[in-house]
Amino acid sequence: MSKGSCLCGSVTWETLAEPYAMYNCHCRMCQKVHGAAFGTYCFFRGGEVRWTSSTDTIVHYRSSDVLVRSSCDVCGSVVPYANAAGDHWVTPGGCHEEMRKPDYNIFVRDNSPWHTINGDMPRCDAYPEESGIPSVEGVPVPGKAKGNVRGSCLCGAVTYQVTEPFKVAHNCHCSRCRHGRAAAHASNGFVSCDGVEFLSGGDMLKTYKVPGARSFSQVFCKVCSSLMPHRVSERGFTLIPLGGLDDDPEIKPVDHLFVASKASWHDITDDLPQYPEGPPPA
Ligand SMILES: [Zn+2]
Ligand SMILES: [Zn+2]
Ligand SMILES: [Zn+2]
């Protein structure tokens, strides 16, 4: 049994069994909605997941024939949803308990150019055959930019371009990033404050700021809840969740931050430097 919640805590749930399957999903839809390299989903039978809060802030977005995704309308975090067969798909991003590890990397055909899949976990191009879940058509994998690097949300309402080279990118395993992205970790690129120009859908953006945090916020599309660039004026940068990019940023995360808060169910399988908390002073 485990407990989970969205970033703002409006939506909480508990699971009443061990997941019968667990996948790291590298599909482009997960990348965009989670603003991350991949989403992780635990699968439960009907009746094995229950809400422990109101569900009033949950909103839905149909991302494919097989799936209607759910998220919290206050903070933009992905929350559990049920598929047509009545199975529950639960993101363990905010889970604190010891948990089993995923079985497969799935939709590896969609993996982004800025993320390398390492380790010996089995890989599939779609869902594993044994799951019986039909494949879905993908969103194109980012290629080399023809001009400025572009990005967009999953529903397409919000589009933006990055008007300067990225300064750096980090993987962040802090508890806020794991809850907010509902993922193993965030992968963020950084540019100056004025380095992102929204081309459409500026009025579709919602912002959630964690009360008491210096600047920790999530900016997301109010239709599909994809995580979008976030200007942090007081710290002089704009943070770009790399999962939303439609072109190759030609930069990869250089390290893993806040690994002291890493999810128990996630193994880091690359050789990048790991820091228990924030980055070392430059
Ligand atoms: Zn929330
Ligand atoms: Zn996916
Ligand atoms: Zn959208």
How many C-beta neighbours within 10 Å does residue 98 have? 8
- CA–centroid distance, 192 to ligand 1, in Å, is 28
- CA–centroid distance, 71 to ligand 1, in Å, is 8
Query: Which option is the CATH number for 143-261: 3.40.50.720, 2.170.150.70, 3.30.530.20, 3.40.1210.10?
Result: 2.170.150.70
160 contacts 124 by C-beta, under 8 angstroms = no
- CA–centroid distance, 235 to ligand 2, in Å, is 32
Q: How far apart are CA 90 and CA 121, in angstroms?
A: 20
What's the distance, CA 110 to chain centroid? 15
Tell which CATH architecture fits domain 2-131: Beta Complex (2.170)
Find the helix or strand (DSSP H, E) in which 34 lies: helix 28-34
pLDDT number for residue 54 = 96
Q: How far apart are CA 265 and CA 262, in angstroms?
A: 9
Task: At 150, list the tokens.
Answer: 């572009």
| Ligand 3 ion: nearby residues, β-carbon < 5 Å | 153, 155, 157, 221, 223-224
Q: Which ligand is nearest to the CA of 56?
A: 1
- CA–centroid distance, 95 to ligand 1, in Å, is 14
- CA–centroid distance, 223 to ligand 2, in Å, is 18
Is the fold of 2-131 the same as that of 143-261?
yes
What's the distance, CA 125 to chain centroid? 19
- CA–centroid distance, 268 to ligand 1, in Å, is 27
- CA–centroid distance, 28 to ligand 1, in Å, is 23
- CA–centroid distance, 170 to ligand 3, in Å, is 24
Per-residue pLDDT of the chain (282 residues; tens, 9 = 90+): 789 999 999 999 999 999 999 999 999 999 999 999 999 999 999 899 999 999 999 999 998 877 899 999 999 999 999 887 888 999 988 776 778 999 999 999 999 999 999 999 999 998 998 888 877 777 778 889 899 999 999 999 999 999 999 999 999 999 999 999 999 999 999 999 999 999 999 999 999 999 988 889 999 999 999 999 999 999 999 999 999 999 999 999 999 999 999 999 999 999 999 999 998 777
- CA–centroid distance, 9 to ligand 1, in Å, is 5
Q: Which ligand is nearest to the CA of 91?
A: 2
Reported pTM: 0.94
Residues in CB range of 271: below 8 A, 6 or more apart: none
- In 3-state terms, the chain is what percent helix, strand and coil (to 5)? 10, 35, 55
11 contacts 94 by C-beta, under 8 angstroms = no
Q: Which ligand is nearest to the CA of 155?
A: 3
Task: At 241, list the tokens.
Answer: 């969740």
Domain ranges of the chain: 2-131, 143-261
- CA–centroid distance, 219 to ligand 2, in Å, is 20
